[in-house]
Chains A and B, each alone.
Chain A
Amino acid sequence: MSYAVGAAKLSVVVNAARVPLGLAVLLAERLRADPGDRIPPTVGEVGAFAIGMGDAAVSAARRAAGAAAQRAVALGRRPASSAVWAGRIFLEQPGVARATAPVTWAGSALAHRVDATVVRGRLVAEVARADALAFLRAQSASGIAWVRGEVLPTIIDDLVSDPKVRELAVEQAHGALSDAAREARHRSAGADARLEARVHRLFGMLARHEPSP
């Protein structure tokens, strides 16, 4: 996949069928993540198995309807989870192992198959997640570029030509000048009184004009 941010033309090559799945993975990460987590948790084993089953089913049937695959994965997630867990517990019982010695090989093969499906599901989830991230980044970059190129200039033009805004700017500048002048007057008035008092002290003059409280 590739995408260029800031260019006039943004191109993103992603597997469109995997974007919804990647978005679902990202959403699940956000929902499962604690606020303090810096690294979001990866897809769980059950989820990976479900994704792997769904991906295998989709590949086998060569059906590429993303929404349908999502629904199938979602529907198969809970039963598949129970099936995997129950199957493993059942096969690990000693009596069952002896009684089912002829089918041990078959059970082992099933476990391997389950593990392979989980690995496959994790791989698919990672790829889908990366595709979804690229899609989201490209879309946000494109949105920001559109706002910068189309919306902001219009808003700025409107603000500049708005008489109310101009009036506000003039009032603000006038207020700043007034504040500066008021401060200068206050300081100079204080300097007047101090200079006069020093001169009076210097020449030993009596304070004929006591300052007002």
Chain B
Amino acid sequence: MSLPHEAYAGLVSRLVALAIDIAAVALGAAVAVGLAVGGSQMMIRETPGWVGPVVGVAIGLLPVVYFSASWWIVGQTPGGMAMGIAVRNGDGRPLGFPRSLLRAVFGLAFAPIWLLGMALVLVDARRRGLIDLAFGTVVLYASQPNADDLAVSEP
């Protein structure tokens, strides 16, 4: 069973979902910094030197963990849940952990290319962006029929 063109999420929905995710990650980073610095100030009245690097690493890993875990576990980031879109393999199955991690790492590492590559959504038959073409994924409206029934051959 193949899905119609309108079953795939378009550019506006994906950008809005991405904006929500960026806001959530920024909020999480701010909370982490606040907890680390404020907590150390409150407990020992100073900020140890190791807090900065640890918090830096945590904040650096936070977006990767956020996106990869969301795609792997439920197929949707919180922004995707809000906008009702989900990431699936080209055959409709949920993403495995390796593909989720790679998609997140490369997407974040080459964020400008990820964003520019989204323009392909406007012209692709299955509304795939560059990152989808690279990793063999599609983004569907979550209200569509069970994605497991999807049987679309990879181009």
Q: Which of A174-213 contact B (CB under 8 A)?
A: 181-182, 184-185, 188-189, 191-193, 195-196, 199-200, 205, 208-209, 211-212
Q: Are B9 and A192 in contact (CB under 8 A)?
A: yes
Assembly CA distance A11 to B12 (angstroms): 70
Cα(A167)–Cα(B31), bound, Å: 30
**B67: CB under 8 A from chain A?**
no
Residues from chain A with Cβ under 8 Å of B4 in the complex: 209, 212
**CB-based nearest A residue for B126:** A209
B77 CB to nearest A CB, Å: 14
Chain A CB within 8 A of B82 CB? yes
Q: Which of A184, A185, A192, A212 has the most CB of B within 10 A?
A: A192
A181 to B12, CA, bound (A): 15
Q: Is B13 interfacial (CB 8 A cutoff)? A: yes
A181, A184, A209: the one within 8 Å of B125 (CB): A209
A195 & B122 in contact (Cβ 8 Å cutoff): yes
Check B42 for interface membership: any CB of A closer than 8 A: no
Which residues does chain B contribute within 8 Å of A182, judged by CB atoms? 84
- Within residues 100 to 140 of chain B, which ones have a CB less than 8 A from any CB in chain A? 122-123, 125, 127
Q: How far, in whole Å, are A181 and B82 apart by their CA atoms in the complex?
A: 6
Residue of A with least CB distance to B8: A192
Residues of chain B at interface, number, CB under 8 A = 18
* Interface hits, B29-75 → A, CB 8 Å: none
A208 pairs with B10, CB closer than 8 A: no
Residue of A nearest to B16 (CB): A188
Is B150 positioned at the interface, with any CB of A under 8 Å from its CB? no
In the docked arrangement, what's the CA distance between A182 and B84, Å? 8
Which residues of A have CB within 8 Å of B11?
192, 195-196
Complex Cα distance, B5 from A212, in Å, reads 8
Q: Which chain B positions have C-beta within 8 A of A199?
A: 122-123
Bound together, the chains give a CA A196 to CA B5 distance in angstroms of 11
Contact B122 A184 (CB under 8 A): no
Within 15-59 of A, Cβ neighbours of B (below 8 Å) are at none
Residue of B nearest to A187 (CB): B12
Partner of B10, one of A189, A200, A205, A212: A189
Q: Is the pair B123, A192 in contact by a Cβ cutoff of 8 Å?
A: no
Asked if residues A191 and B10 are in contact (CB atoms below 8 Å), the reply is: yes
Q: Which residues of A contact B127 (CB under 8 A)?
A: 196
Contact (A209, B9) CB under 8 Å given A188-B16, A188-B83, A189-B141: no
B12 and A184 within 8 A (CB): no
Known A196-B122, A209-B5, A212-B4; contact A184-B10, beta-carbon cutoff 8 A: no
Of the candidates B10, B16, B125, the one having the most CB atoms from chain A within 10 angstroms of its own CB is B10
Interface residues of B (CB under 8 A from A): 4-6, 9-13, 16, 82-84, 122-123, 125, 127, 141, 143
List 17 interface pairs A-B (beta carbons < 8 Å), by A numbering: A181-B84, A184-B82, A184-B83, A185-B83, A188-B12, A189-B13, A189-B141, A191-B10, A192-B9, A192-B12, A195-B10, A196-B10, A196-B122, A199-B122, A209-B4, A211-B5, A211-B6
The 3 closest A-B pairs by CB, nearest first: A192-B10, A209-B5, A185-B84
